[in-house]
Structure 1
Amino acid sequence: MKTIKDHIDIILSSFHSKRDLDEAVFCVCSFAELVDYKSVGGDQSQKRKLLIASEIKNIQSVTIRDYFTKLVKANEMWLFEPSHFADFNSALKNIASETSVIDLKIAVDLKDDDIQEIADYFSAKQQHKVILNISVDKSLIGGAIIKKDNYIMDFSLKNKLSTLSTQWKKSIKTSKDNE
């Protein structure tokens, strides 16, 4: 059986922007109120499952809606019990508040496994969850540009070639001036 952390890790791996994560947290908070209200201890489990399934359809976050739908279809209902869902909601809020976003501009498309590996690397370095906001810019030629907050690190070949070109032009101008 998956733990609350397992569920959160699966959900977080689907997000590539802080906005999507914030929307998911809002949807889970709203849904938590419904689950707490609708899941009365004396309810039959099948009746509770139908109520939850009907409420899931109203969730705005596609990631959360799809994930919860999979849980209901697989009959993994323990997460929707009020005490478990409250823990899930709290854990998701905490992780979301600690999560930062790193913009990564790259020259080529990456496989999902590579994206996850890069996200895990940055998460380990930052010591908290990191969401990668990836964009592809074919003009980079190669490498990447990493941006976090006000810091930009340019590892692209375009930047290096531009720098070399500028130095070369200065060198030519200097040599002409010395003639």
Structure 2
Amino acid sequence: MAAEDPSVSGVSGRYATALFDLARDEKSIDAVKADLDQFSAMLADSTDLARLVRSPVFSAEAQQRALAAVLEAAGISGISAKFLKVLTANRRLFAVADVIRAFNALVARFKGEATADITVAETLSDKSLDALKTALAKVTGKDVTLNVKVDRSIIGGLVVKLGSRMVDSSLRTKLNSIKHAMKEAG
């Protein structure tokens, strides 16, 4: 399964695939995904946790003790906690963000979902988001989840990345194209 999706490869892909297979067999995919999403959010919010995860300075034992306390405080248990502890014991905790990303890709494929990364110049209305979601669902034939990011530097328009496809209709890109064409003409 991992070989079909380039985002699910390497060490992180192997760990994510093993976790996905176990969660599927235990009929706990949604619970594991929720736990991993919670851990991912904690990782994004805490510089101390990020340092613990990424720094090779901490011994495996120190990482395990600290991780156990974090998981207990967060209420993360079961398969998810055991999996994170295995990553730690195998000295692969530094790859946890990639593993979570790969696991989420496997879950999305399993559920027939797709995720689109959308970059816009300003916040879209709910009506515009729904229209975009509907249009992408028609193109892919799947339920599409939108990850929307606001980047004022694109000036206007939007950039849509869905799987390996990208459509850049940003005003910045169009202006750069005109600028480049004018340089070659002159």
Instruction: Name the TM-score class by shorter chain.
Output: 0.3 to 0.5
- TM-score (structure 2 length as normaliser): 0.42
Query: If you compute each CA radius of gyration, which structure gives the higher value, 1 or 2?
Result: 1
